[in-house]
Amino acid sequence: MTRPAVEDAERERVGGELAALARTLYERGWMPGTAGNVSVRLPGGAALITASGRDKGDMTARDMVVVPAGTAAEAPGPLRASAETAIHSAIYRTTDAGAVIHVHSPYATAVACRVGRRTRPASLRIERFELLKGLGLAEPAHTEVPVFPNWPEVRRIAADVAGHLAATPHAPPVLLIADHGVTTWGRDLAQARNRLECLESICRLLLLTGSGLPAEGREDRS
């Protein structure tokens, strides 16, 4: 009967890692207020994710919610998972990701505003930058980062993400949501975070150089 205790200890350890990362991302200004969410896949396919509505600069290992495998709904408990949990679940269902990070970091979000459309997916082509090597791409010379519409119903965003990843085996482990933010994933939190840092830096360079971005002030964003 020691297994539940082992599982509890593991969740406490993983929850501590999630809380520490959320604090770090909050301090960088990438998770303002209660925005953003971080998750780790647990043994058996469930996921542990930061709870909704909690200040991301003040989290502890107890501020986490278990999302059962194959669903986007949290297990019963006092804390609620974010609606954006559906996007994490879509990534766990369609890739071998071990950890997912979603933030509203300024440069990636600004690029998502410039490139994204309101009612249909768009794509951001990135090439040349040395930092592409940090994204974990099959072909590091260039990539196409999908930019999904920011539907008011998060499940609709999640369905777009799942459909894209299922149909695109070599899709980069990063995506943008128009007017909203960025999501990255990897085998663990460290790898997902590295990819996030590289994409945020690339987006900063894109804005500094203006290369590969549509002109500002575009009228038609449908």
- DSSP state, 51? B
Query: Among 93-101, 148-156, 177-185, 188-196, which window interacts with Zn ion (CB under 5 A)?
Result: 177-185
Query: Among 3-11, 58-66, 114-122, 178-186, which window interacts with Zn ion (CB under 5 A)?
Result: 178-186
Q: In whole angstroms, what is the distance from residue 194 CA to residue 190 CA?
A: 6
Residue closest to Zn ion, measured at CB: 181
Residue 181 interacts with Zn ion (CB under 5 A): yes or no:
yes
Q: In whole angstroms, what is the distance from residue 104 CA to residue 34 CA?
A: 11
Q: In whole angstroms, what is the distance from residue 195 CA to residue 4 CA?
A: 33
Residue 149 interacts with Zn ion (CB under 5 A): yes or no:
no
Query: Among 8-16, 92-100, 120-128, 180-188, which window interacts with Zn ion (CB under 5 A)?
Result: 180-188
* 50 vs 143 by CB, closer to Zn ion: 50
Strands of 99-103's sheet in order across? 64-67, 47-50, 37-41, 99-103, 181-186, 174-177, 142-148, 122-127
Q: In whole angstroms, what is the distance from residue 105 CA to residue 30 CA?
A: 4
Binding mask 27-66 for Zn ion (x = CB under 5 A): ----------------------------------------
* 136 vs 181 by CB, closer to Zn ion: 181
Q: Cβ 24 to Zn ion, closest distance in Å?
A: 17
Q: In whole angstroms, what is the distance from residue 165 CA to residue 91 CA?
A: 8
Binding-site ranges for Zn ion (CB under 5 A): 181
